[in-house]
């Protein structure tokens, strides 16, 4: 367990219509989060991988905090069994609250919402708003094409080389937790990457 981390935010799909391999990885991740004594914050839905990872962690003792926009709640989306449930006005407020309450981010397989949440956290880290560990759980090579695109962005100088160090790609839930447990928060020299220029300290 990393003593500077109490709560891990997991970005994930809320779809049930996906391959079982992703559910197995989400279940294992939830188990390891609980075994390492972290609490978990998520987007508030009990569907899909969101539900799988949170239920796995909850059954093993993690505190579960769900954050959902009012619009989704009013549509009848089931938040499941949360230790704490927070309603927000909209999607932007939801992301801000999840960011506020967590010290770490793991993006497991998901759709456009997961991608938006992940890239916003990378940009925040690049600009020095946080120094949180950011992990892509690359189950079944799900993020291979996205990682290749990120590398292309950097290689063509749309982002500085240091951005490659702002996120970690884990092949397994075990690798993800090992990275988080050993993360060094003192390594926070990411302001050097701001708008692609070197800042003199």
Nearest to 181 by CA among 60, 4, 25, 54: 4
State the pLDDT confidence band at 27, using cuts at 50, 70 and 90: very high
The predicted pLDDT at position 192 comes to 52
C-alpha distances out from residue 174 to 28, 135, 136, Å: 8, 12, 12
Q: Is the pLDDT at 138 greater than 80, yes or no?
A: yes
Give the model confidence (pLDDT) of 37-67 as tens digits. 999 999 999 999 999 999 999 999 999 999 9
Tokens of 116: 């938006």
Domain ranges (residues) in the chain: 7-181
The per-residue pLDDT for range 153-191, each reduced to its tens digit, is 999 999 999 899 999 999 999 999 999 999 998 876 555
DSSP state of 44: S
Of the candidate CATH numbers 3.40.50.150, 3.20.20.140, 3.40.50.450, 3.30.2270.10, the domain formed by 7-181 belongs to 3.40.50.450
* Alpha carbon distances (Å) from 137 to 10, 40, 88, 97, 127: 10, 16, 27, 22, 23
Comparison of pLDDT for 18 and 190, the residue scoring more: 18
pLDDT band at 193 (very low <50, low <70, confident <90, very high): very low
Asked whether the CA dihedral 34, 80, 12, 86 is positive or negative, the reply is negative
DSSP string of 65-100, one letter each residue: EEEEEHHHHHTT----S-SEEEEESSHHHHHHHHHH
Measured torsion, CA atoms of residues 53, 57, 59, 62, in degrees rounded to the nearest 10:
-150
Q: Does residue 197 surpass a pLDDT of 50? A: no
Instruction: Write phi, then psi, for 4 (nearest 5 degrees).
Output: -90, -5
Q: How many residues does the chain have?
A: 201
What does the pLDDT average to over 80-89? 92
Q: Report residue 76's pLDDT band, with 50, 70 and 90 as the boundaries.
A: confident
Confidence (pTM) = 0.90
């Amino acid at each position: 367990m990393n003593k500077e981390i109490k709560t891990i935010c997991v970005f994930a799909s809320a779809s049930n219509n996906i391959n079982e391999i992703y559910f197995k990885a989400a279940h294992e991740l939830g188990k390891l989060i609980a075994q390492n004594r972290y609490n978990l914050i998520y987007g508030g839905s009990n569907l899909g991988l969101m539900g799988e990872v949170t239920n796995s962690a909850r059954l093993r003792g993690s505190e579960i905090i769900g954050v959902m926009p009012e619009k989704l709640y009013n549509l009848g989306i089931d938040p499941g069994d949360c230790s704490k449930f927070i309603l927000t006005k909209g999607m932007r407020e939801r992301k801000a609250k999840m960011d506020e309450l967590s010290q770490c981010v793991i993006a497991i397989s998901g759709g456009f919402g997961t991608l938006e949440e992940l890239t916003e956290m990378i940009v925040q880290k690049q600009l020095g708003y946080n120094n949180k560990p950011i992990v892509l759980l690359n189950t079944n090579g799900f993020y291979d094409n996205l990682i290749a695109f990120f590398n292309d962005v950097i290689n063509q100088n749309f982002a500085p080389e240091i951005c490659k160090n702002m996120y970690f790609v884990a092949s397994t839930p075990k690798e993800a937790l090992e990275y988080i447990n050993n993360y060094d928060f003192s390594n926070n020299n990411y302001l050097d990457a701001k708008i692609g220029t070197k800042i003199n300290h």
